[in-house]
Every structure is written in structure tokens, then in C-alpha cells.
Structure 1
Amino acid sequence: MAELQAVLLARDLRDGEKAIIGTNSDVQVAACNLARCRQAPTLWWVSGPGGMVNCNEPVIRSTARTENIAWSEAMMDLPQMVDFIDWKIHFFDFAILGAIQVDRFGNINTVCVGPHDKPRLRGPGTVGISALTALARRFYVVMARHDRGSFPERVDFLNGPGFLDGGTSRTDRGLPEGGPKLVLSPFGIFDFEPVSKKMRLKSLNPGVTVEQVQEATGFELLIEGTPPVTSMPTADELRDLRENVDSTGVLRERRRA
């Protein structure tokens, strides 16, 4: 699943784009470096916690690790990072984010499930996610689970604004154009209907049914016609991923974990 998500994300990334990647980042790093191997050689990404730019070692590790420095093209210091993340609208073309919840309008929650003062589950916190979801041109959401708890009608704590209440509510409340483009889960790929901004089923992973994904979702998905089956990685994509990006098989290990 981690390899599949990395390949699907990589296909959507374009040459010359700028991206930022957080600490828990194996799929994100793999997606960006796979895109750089294939259709986007001048795409560049920066480590949010470390400031390293384009770590090219074919080994997946946390972007905060100092071992990445020797394989990186450049380093950015903290004041530069704060300026880019917190103040510059559309400096980053995209961010790839994980979440503990994502709702029907693509708002994400990385803080807590349940009441904030007595949560059932604590997440990693906000970090720079609020700024990135607000200011990047677009963002992607990678979900490790797909159930009614992780895909609720409304997130329990909104710290990553998507399309807020749908429609034009994002820009009506003063945020720039942007928002989520795709959500990837173990069941398939989801995008957002252009007018209502409601989450829409784009494709189903092999073996998954419409009824299965709707039953596991806490709100009514938009489903237009018969959704196609997600296009699986090609032999060339898997070879590039396993030889030039993830030579030690970190993504495959996640499947066995």
C-alpha cells in the first residue's frame, strides 16, 4: 500500500514545482524522488524539520535525520523556512500530509480525536500544517486507515483548512485559492467536486467495492457513474522506486509491520 500511494502521488507531480515534506515522511519522500527520477527532474522539495533540499540518497528515512545532509543539494536555515512556510502565499506548489481525520470538505485533523481537553487519541499536533494547508497552492492527504472514525462528517479538531464548509467558503473567509487536490486511502483515490467541494470517489483500488468504501465513510461520498479501478504501478515505476528511491525496501516493510 505504501508503494502504491507513493507511485500514485508521484504521477501527479510536475517538473519545476516546489514542495515541503514533514518528519513522518516515507511515502512523501518516495513520491517526490520518484517523480524526479521520471517526469519531473527539476522538482525540488525541502525538509520541513531539517531544511535539507532534495536529499537524493536512494534510502527512505525521516527528513529530520542529519544523515540526509551529505546527500542533499542545499540547506536552508530556520529563518528562511519560517518565512516560506508562514508568510509567503503560494511559495510552495504543494504539500503532502498525513492526518488522523479528514472530512467531506478536505479539512484535516492532526491534533486529537474526541474533546480537546479529554481526547480519546492525541495526534502529533499542528506544527506547520495550518500554514501549509492555507498557503500552498494545493495539498495531498495520505491516510493509512479508512473507517468512519478517520473519515468523519466533520473533523473533531480543524487545524488544516481544506474547503472549510464547501463551496466558496474557503476564499470567503479570507484564505487564498488552494486546498486539497487528492486524498489517498487504502480503498482508493478521492478528489473534490469543483463547485460544492465535496469529496468525490475518483477510483477504487482493486478488490474494493463502492458499497464497502461508502460503509466505511462517515458521510455520503459523491459517486458519479461507475468509478474506474485505480491504475496500478507499472513495472518501470516499481523498478525506479525500488532501485533509485527506496533501495532498502522501507515502504515494503510497512506492509509487514
Structure 2
Amino acid sequence: MLAVLLARDLGDGEKAIVGTNSDIQVAACNLARQRQAPRLWWVSGPGGMTNPTEGIVRPAADAENIAVAQAVMDLPLMIDFIDWRIHFFDFAILGALQTDRFGNINTVCIGDHARPRLRGPGTVGISALTGLSRRFYIMMTRHDRGAFVPRVDFICGAGHLDGGTSRTDRGLPEGGPRLVVTPLGVFDFAPNSKAMRIRSLHEGVSLEEARDNTGFDLLVPDQVARTAPPQAEELFLLRRTVDTTGVLARKFPWPRAA
């Protein structure tokens, strides 16, 4: 579901980057390439492999991707793209331990940084990607008050910071999070306040459920749309050409499959 929802928003000819633990992100990019965006190209941030395509979803850093990639870029070139070139990448797709009302993300720690309750994988290249890409997507495999908090415990990826124009006021380029996809719905950000709002809720999810599982007040449109479910063509391509070994179904069973 998350791979399909992300894939729908990706455009032909765009340049993307994904991180190490990125099964859903890889599937989304390859599904978009099979449908509306054949000239989209994505690169593995940790490995430099571009468009590895074999019909098997692997972690982006897996060395087996080298043999089926269209190209491989070395680390100095990757660092030049990631850390210095504003808007070189059209988008990144990122997961997080926490995200907040303005789309800031945290993969560092839960609790006080000196004595955290939980330590995450760290920042890696996230700060550069959220700061310099034209946009980014937040992909959350859980939606509860522990993951959606009023303010993240540690900002490692700048979203819209404090809302409004605070992102550009503090020296970052235009950009920030475009969509948040979760097991409950799809969310975007209001144009002026930059606060998170409901774009659509998945079938069977009520407005009360979304609110109860979010640690801040979501903006609610006058009419709450229903997420368009995956089409037969999308599922066919996902299962027969993108994820032929069923990695997503095994690792990320959809909580509402019943």
C-alpha cells in the first residue's frame, strides 16, 4: 500500500535518492518506472548504484545490486551530489522514528540525547537530503502518538521547522516534506501555516481514529477524501515485475489486510 501511494506521486525524468533500509522506497521508485515514469532514476545513497532492476527488492546498499544497476557512482561523486548541490535531487523518501506537526523528522534518539530511551540509526545523510532536495516524502510504517509527536526529540531532518516561512527564514532552500504516508492515511501540509493536514484516509479509517493516534491537532479539510485503493494494474506490476519474491508482503504485512 505504501509503495503504491508513493509511486503515484513520482514524475518522469526525476532524480531520486534512497537510503540503506529502503525496501518500500525502492519498490515505489521501480513501480513508478514501470508505469508513468520510465525515465525516473534513483540512486542508492550508501552504494552509488543507479536503477538496479531485477524484479527483486533488496536493501539499497546490497552489493548484489551492482550487477543489475545501470551505473555505479563512486563515493566522492555521491558526496558532491548529496551534500553540496541544491535541488540536484528532485526528491528523497525517508522513514523516521518520529515526525512532528511541521514535518521535521528524527532518526537519532527518543528522549534526552545524553540519556536516550531509544537510540536510532543516526542522521547519516538525512540532514543534507531534507535540506537540499526539491522535496521529500515521509514514509511511516506505524501511526501512533509515539511516532507522531508535537515536536520531535531531535531534528535530524528539517521539514518546515516552526511552520510558515521559518524554513527559508533560517537559511534553507525552498522545499521540505510534500506527503506523509502511513497505515492510516496520506497527509500533506497547508500552504501558509505548513502544518500537517489530512489529504485522505484509507478505507475503514475514521477521522476519530486518525486524531486519536496523532500527538498533535491535524488540520482537517471540509471534506475528508478516501484514499484510492491500489488498482489491479498497480498490484500486478508490483508483484510480477518489481517485487517478484514478495519481500514487502513478508516484511510489512498490511495491518488492515483482514
Which TM-score applies when normalising by structure 2? 0.97
Cα separation, 1, equivalents of 2:153 and 2:2: 25
Once the 2 structures are TM-superposed, how far is the Cα of residue 255 of structure 1 from its aligned partner?
Answer: 3.7
Deviations 1:80-134 (A, max 9, x none): 0000000000000000000000000000000001001111111110000000000
Match of 1:174 in 2: 171
Which of 12, 16, 33 is residue 30 of structure 2 equivalent to? 33
RMSD, aligned CA: 0.9
Say whether 1:81 aligns with 2:78: yes
Say whether 1:92 aligns with 2:119: no
Say whether 1:63 aligns with 2:60: yes
Match of 1:251 in 2: 248
Matched AA of 1:249 = G
Matched AA of 1:204 = L
Once the 2 structures are TM-superposed, how far is the Cα of residue 256 of structure 1 from its aligned partner?
Answer: 4.6
Q: Report sequence identity in percent.
A: 67
Which TM-score applies when normalising by structure 1? 0.98
Match of 1:157 in 2: 154
Cα separation, 2, equivalents of 1:256 and 1:89: 37
- The correspondence of residues 86-235 of structure 1 with structure 2, limited to 5 A, is 86-235=83-232
Cα separation, 2, equivalents of 1:181 and 1:164: 14
Cα separation, 2, equivalents of 1:94 and 1:255: 23
Cα separation, 1, equivalents of 2:67 and 2:144: 40
What 5-or-longer segments of structure 2 have no aligned partner?
none
Cα separation, 2, equivalents of 1:204 and 1:212: 10
Runs of 4+ in 1 over 3 A off after TM superposition: none
Deviations 1:7-45 (A, max 9, x none): 010000000000001011110000000000011000000
Count the aligned residue pairs. Answer: 254
Cα separation, 1, equivalents of 2:60 and 2:178: 23
Cα separation, 2, equivalents of 1:175 and 1:226: 33
Once the 2 structures are TM-superposed, how far is the Cα of residue 145 of structure 1 from its aligned partner?
Answer: 1.1
Cα separation, 2, equivalents of 1:140 and 1:153: 19
What 5-or-longer segments of structure 1 have no aligned partner?
none
Matched AA of 1:197 = K
Q: Give 3-state SS (helix, strand or coil) of 2:148's partner.
A: coil
Cα separation, 1, equivalents of 2:34 and 2:26: 12
